[in-house]
Amino acid sequence: MNIILIGSGGREHALAWKMAQSQACEQLFIIPGNAGTAECGTNVAINPLDFPAIKDFALANAVDLCVVGPEAPLVEGIYDFFQNDQTLAHIKVIGPSKEGAQLEGSKAYAKQFMAEFGIPTAAYREFTPDTLQEGLNYIEQQATPIVLKADGLAAGKGVLIIDDIEEAKKALIEMLGGKFGAASKKVVIEAFLSGIEFSVFALTDGKDYKILPIAKDYKRIGEGDTGLNTGGMGAVSPVPFVDDALFQKVEDRIIRPTINGLHHKGIDYKGFVFFGLISVNGDPYVIEYNCRMGDPETEVVIPRLQNDLVDLFDAVYKGDLSEKEIVIDERAATTVMLVSGGYPEAYEKGKIIYNLESVEDSILFHAGTKEVSGQILTNGGRVIAVSSYGPHFEAALEISNQNAAKIDFAGKNYRRDIGLDLKAK
């Protein structure tokens, strides 16, 4: 099979690494990829949102399968673009239709979907500029903290958790006034849930589904979960506090009703569903849906998945996903993200990365790198995910931390405590 993978982060390097191991993978092209994905296949410099250019490339290279990593092309309708074009319709696209991608692309859509199918989530109301006054009245009746969410994609910045009623009212006025552009022309206000978060992933053909290893990511820049939010500083899998009882509730109350709901609504969904969950005293609630894999969760989930990933993607289209059995490596995996100095605020790119060849016993997934005349340079806030296995996640962390210390670039920063808080849980 000739395969296109769309995206350029650590998630995509992990997916490329895994697909390149498949017998069925003949040629792998990554659009646009990074210095790490170049070791698994051929990088192709096309913008992931330039669908006509992707079409030309796919046709010229007899592509059979197109795996979409990030949300933006999905929310923009890349699946429908392929489906609706006679010349492309034979290509299997892994990723939901535009409507399915609304689970991530519109918070209001996701909340309505959960309400329709009785899926547990925080109580909410949605407001637009026309209903601003109702929104302000609503806020006055709520307990704090209160959660305000821009309806649309806002580069991970569209969620505000506010402790003060007056401040929340101000924030609503700003958001509906266009603080996040079109993304906040509708705002979801929801109750704050107190608990511990974790990430569950399913691969679905829109009817059946398979659950992948469970993970937890660490979003704050600082050790002890302090400081600014980032795209993710590390992740672990499995998650010790997700025991059989909690897992069963997740499947019964959330995963199955979600997939059945998609099917019931006739939504074409052949791809990953990312359930961002929170356990509130042992009961799971949905914080958010994403229509893709998580990053950096993929960098621990994929290394623990023993199945042939291309074979699973094939099953999504053959309709025999239900016959596949997911085989999971029993070892724990931990990933530690090396980030650029200053991230998640302003940072510099183009720093030379040294000592990659000295790394032993870890898998390096490049997140923001590029190769220039034989040298690997930093090319983003998140630079490299250092993933390791261990009998338990502390052992895996130790290996990742040792290798994180060896790799060097100017301004390198990373957290040394990924997963350690789970010891007590």
Residues that bind ligand AMP (CB under 6 A): 122, 147, 159, 190, 192-193, 197, 276, 287-288
Q: 147 touches which of ligand GLY, ligand AMP, none (CB within 5 to 8 A by kind)?
A: ligand AMP
* Shortest reach from residue 226's CB to ligand GLY, in Å: 18
According to the binding rule CB under 6 A, does residue 368 interact with ligand GLY? Answer: no
Q: 76 or 197: whose CB is closer to ligand AMP?
A: 197
Residue closest to 295 by CA, chosen among 346, 380, 233, 361: 233
Task: Look at residue 280 and give the partner it binds from ligand AMP, ligand GLY, none, a contact being a CB closer than 5 to 8 Å depending on partner kind.
Answer: none
How far CA 260 is from CA of 12, 100, 255, 267, in Å, comes to: 28, 13, 9, 10
Answer yes or no whether residue 105 interacts with ligand GLY by CB under 6 A: no
List the structure tokens of 225.
């979960």
159 versus 165: smaller Cβ distance to ligand AMP: 159
Measured distance CA(103)–CA(328) in Å, rounded: 27
Decide: is 290 part of the binding site for ligand GLY (CB under 6 A).
Answer: yes
- For 324, the token pair is 């596949």
According to the binding rule CB under 6 A, does residue 205 interact with ligand GLY?
no
3-state secondary structure of 259: helix
- Region binding ligand GLY by CB under 6 A among candidate stretches 109-117, 290-298, 347-355, 388-396: 290-298
Residue 333, binding choice from ligand GLY, ligand AMP, none, Cβ under 5 to 8 Å by partner class: none
Q: Minimum Å distance from CB 77 to ligand AMP? A: 22
Based on the shown chain and the rule CB under 6 A, indicate whether residue 152 belongs to the binding site for ligand GLY.
Answer: no
Distance of CA 410 to the CA centre of its chain: 28
Of 36 and 70, nearer to ligand AMP (C-beta) is 70
**Which string of DSSP letters, residue by residue, matches 178-242?**
TTTGGGGSSEEEEE---SEEEEEEEEESSS-EEEPPPBEEEEEEETTTEEEEEEEEEEEES-TT-
Q: Which of 69, 257, 294, 344 binds ligand GLY (CB under 6 A)?
A: 294
Contact partner, 71, from ligand GLY, ligand AMP, none, Cβ < 5-8 Å per class = none
What lies within 8 Å, CB to CB, of 400 at 6+ separation is 234, 334, 335, 336, 362, 386, 387, 388, 418
299 near ligand GLY (CB under 6 A): no
Residue nearest to ligand GLY (CB): 294
CA distance 185 to 385: 35
Is the Cα dihedral 339, 342, 347, 349 positive or negative? negative
- Where along the sequence are the contacts to ligand GLY (CB under 6 A)? 217, 232, 290, 294-295, 297
